[in-house]
Amino acid sequence: MTSFSNENKKLFNRRNLLIGLGTIGTLTGMNIYHSTKKHNPKIPMKELTPQTIRIAYLHNEKNQLLTIAQAKRFLEHYKLNLIPILNIKNKAEIFNLLKTNQCDMAILSILDWLSQYLTSESVAGKLLIGLNGGDFRLLVTHKQKIQRLMDLADLSIGIQPHSDKEKLFFSILLRRKGINPNLNVKWIEMEKDELLPALLSNQIQALIGSDPFIWKILHHNDKRVFELAGSQTGSWSKRINYVVGVTNNFLHTNFLAVKSFAILIHDSALWQAQHLQEASQILTDQWTKMSPKDILTMFQNENQNLAKTNNNLWEQVAQYIDEFKLLGQIPNNLKSSRSAKEFCIKL
């Protein structure tokens, strides 16, 4: 393990820190985004002491709110130091770290969390706050006569290995349209570089993924492909995906740090939604193959400010549990609201 700033040295180079300090705009005498008036009254500043949080997440997934929290000095404001755990290969390793108290918090898709929680006898921690929406997209070509999800029955959908959450999300959408995702669709695993050529050659009839990967395919091939379905519209546009979970041990011994972390994530989400252009500059080094203009365009086509806690969080978790029932993965008599409240932290 190493410190957050060291591990992400490329993310927080001098240029990004200058941006984070507001050199693009006007400082107006403030070194941090917060002012005293904006500080949450439920967090007495005099009670805050420096706290270190060991956090686990998959490094191939975007965690831009952590980058923003560092660049805009929300972490410093709440006296929190993040230590990311390195070289995590899959979600199973994250759950093992949580169970053995080798980390304090973790970031995973809500679908990953619930897949574990609903099939395991033990829960290694509780859910604290949503980070962002799903950013899932299903693409098809203009040449094919596919206009609705129902048209995918008996066809092939391409997916990257270890993309369980994307497959689960679109399985829910297909099931709601009367298609059994296990029997009426053929899922074909491919490496990411193989997906678009396979789609264009009709080896597969659709491909799925999440941003920024799937957005780059759509944005640079919009004359050949289009988005048939995704998480950006309808009721899904308000749904969270990535969620921070906290170990029971850290929750019981460092509740003030937990609450502070939730507030800084909320502040980071709100700040990003209000400053998309500056956020795209800050994140340029995190997504090295995307220009600030590309990132900004992607942000403008994504749902922003979806950090959810307390009732807003458990209500959404309960909705997801209902959808696991729809897929036949858990018993219908499981109490969705009761289970969701057990899984979530009340601040």
CA 73/CA 117 separation, integer angstroms:
34
CA 158/CA 80 separation, integer angstroms:
41
Domains of the chain plus CATH, in order, are 4-134+239-343 (3.40.190.10), 136-230 (3.40.190.10)
Judged by DSSP in three states, 76 sits in: helix
272 is written with which tokens?
A: 């990003």
CA 18/CA 275 separation, integer angstroms:
15
pLDDT of residue 10: 43
| Per-residue pLDDT in tens (0 to 9) along the chain, 347 residues | 434 544 444 444 433 433 333 333 332 333 333 433 344 545 666 677 899 999 999 877 768 899 999 999 999 999 999 999 988 988 999 999 999 999 999 999 999 999 988 887 677 789 999 988 878 999 999 998 899 999 999 999 999 998 889 999 999 999 999 999 999 999 999 999 999 999 999 999 999 999 989 999 998 887 899 999 999 888 888 899 899 999 999 999 999 999 999 999 999 999 999 999 999 999 987 787 889 999 999 999 888 888 999 999 999 999 999 999 999 989 999 999 999 999 999 98
Q: Are strands 136-141 and 225-230 parallel, antiparallel or unpaired?
A: antiparallel
pLDDT of residue 23: 32
172-176: long-range pairs with CB below 8 Å, 24+: 172/323, 172/326, 172/327, 173/138, 173/149, 173/229, 174/149, 175/326, 175/327, 176/326
pLDDT of residue 41: 46
Q: Where are the beta strands (DSSP E) in 97-230?
A: 105-109, 125-132, 136-141, 156-159, 186-189, 206-210, 225-230
pLDDT of residue 278: 94
Judged by DSSP in three states, 1 sits in: coil
- Note the pLDDT tens digit of each residue in 53-109: 999 998 777 688 999 999 999 999 999 999 999 889 889 999 999 999 999 999 999
CA 270/CA 157 separation, integer angstroms:
35
Torsion sign, CA atoms 232, 234, 240, 241: negative
